[in-house]
Structure 1
Amino acid sequence: MLERLKLVPVVSLPSVQAGLELAEILIDHNLPVIEVTFRTPYAADAISAMKEKFNELLILAGTVLAKDQVDIASDAGAECIVIPGFHAGLVDYCQAKNLMVCPGTVTPSEVLQCYHMGLKTVKFFPAEVSGGAAMLKAMAAVFTDMKFMPTGGINLNNLREYLSLDSVFCCGGSWLAPEDMLQQEKWDAIAQRIGLATKQIDQQL
């Protein structure tokens, strides 16, 4: 599903209600996916509420740093755990629970460790400050079976470049619904950003 949608909004929710409002906008724009980061105390409750109201929504739990957060996210309804870095213990824990896990990588050494743990998809984070598309091209030449989800510094201006890479299965984007816009409930502006992004993806496919 992620490979088909190509884009995952990455959000830090200021309230459960903000998550519900955003989920409705995403579904209206045929982008039924969201990564809810565990950077605010509302993450788990928002995941649970969104999953209950919008069952078709694919929910990823992001910025997961510990095993207890894996449990909380999974119990709330998250279907994929996104880790900002590589940690073998956390990856093992997710795999033991039959959860999709996408650890963060930025070096060939980290990608190699993921490869030997049986992973085929990893996060490339922070993408832009770590060499961007050029770095991904270099790593993809070595790890031909690995697919990447670049996140960090992705925006409407460079989205096309990343998605043009065969090694990229989707991109994570926090610019679609930044925390300040969520706090100020700027739903029309957020909807416009999401609409522009999905339009660009449709044109590129």
Structure 2
Amino acid sequence: MKNKTEKLLALLDGQPVIPVLKIGDVAHAVPLARALVAGGLPAIEITLRTPAALDAIRAVAKEVPEAVVGAGTILSGEDFVKAADAGSRFIVSPGSTPELLETAEKSDVPLLPGATTPSEIMVLQARGYEILKFFPAEQSGGLPFLKALASPLAAIRFCPTGGISLKNAPDYLAQPNIVCVGGSWVAPDADIEAGNWQRIEELAREASQLKKR
């Protein structure tokens, strides 16, 4: 598990914001990934919220080698296997189940599981996880909650996602138990649909320059 933690940290710790993407048309995947890479955000999360998601992951993995493509909204072991087979280099889940964790432990692809309560965090820590997703961040207590966890659960670091924006991201990133934040604001649905890749590149560049503690 230590090797997987180091692998995940190497992927996530290199940038302050992980773009969380919902891609409805696979034709958008490659130019979108290239725009985000050009803007300084090579690690991206493509969520399994659309029928095109797995094909989008395959396209990015094949055609944009400079991107680090991951899969999000993974809800089962079956989802995990399909996403890994499509070329995902990391897997993100809003929570965890015994089946999902067992599948992840058999794979070389690192998992970023979600947790929002001390008990959930402690269960995952007992299984060797040191980096967790905190989702939905703002609705689950946000920054004050994560600050409160910093002392009793000092070994755990988080990637909060949900309600994070350019406005509040710096406050999250200033906390020592935050690795990075996840955000969809760097690739708005309207800009993706319009093919406004230049605008997305600009948003990515702005986000990539946010400072971490």
TM-score w.r.t. the length of structure 2 is: 0.90
Contact map agreement 2:76 2:99 (CA 8 A) in 1 = no
- Does residue 68 (structure 1) correspond to residue 70 (structure 2)? The answer is no
Rounded to whole Å, the distance in 2 between the matches of 1:89 and 1:139 is: 27
Rounded to whole Å, the distance in 2 between the matches of 1:141 and 1:105 is: 17
- Does residue 10 (structure 1) correspond to residue 23 (structure 2)? The answer is no
CA shift, 1:115, in A, is: 0.3
Counterpart residue number, 1:109: 119
C-alpha deviations, 1:67-119, integer Å up to 9, x for none?
22111100111011111112122012111112201111111111011101110
| Range with greater deviation from structure 2 (166-175 or 177-186) | 177-186
Pairwise mapping of residues 78-157 of structure 1 onto structure 2 (< 5 A)?
78-157=88-167
Larger relative contact order (CA 8 Å, sep ≥ 6) = 2
- Equivalent residue for 1:28, pick from 38, 43, 59: 38
CA shift, 1:188, in A, is: 2.9
User: For the aligned residues, what is the CA RMSD?
Assistant: 1.4
Contact map agreement 1:149 1:171 (CA 8 A) in 2 = yes
Counterpart residue number, 2:66: 56
Contact map agreement 1:14 1:179 (CA 8 A) in 2 = no
Contact map agreement 2:61 2:67 (CA 8 A) in 1 = yes
Instruction: Name segments (4+ residues, structure 1) moved above 3 Å.
Output: none
Amino acid aligned to 2:65: N
The unaligned stretches of length 5 or more in structure 2 are 1-10
Rounded to whole Å, the distance in 1 between the matches of 2:188 and 2:110 is: 25
The unaligned stretches of length 5 or more in structure 1 are none
- Equivalent residue for 1:182, pick from 192, 195, 199: 192
Rounded to whole Å, the distance in 2 between the matches of 1:186 and 1:159 is: 23
CA shift, 1:186, in A, is: 2.6
Amino acid aligned to 2:168: N
Rounded to whole Å, the distance in 2 between the matches of 1:178 and 1:62 is: 17
Contact map agreement 2:19 2:183 (CA 8 A) in 1 = yes
Amino acid aligned to 2:31: E
| Residue aligned with 1:75, SS | helix
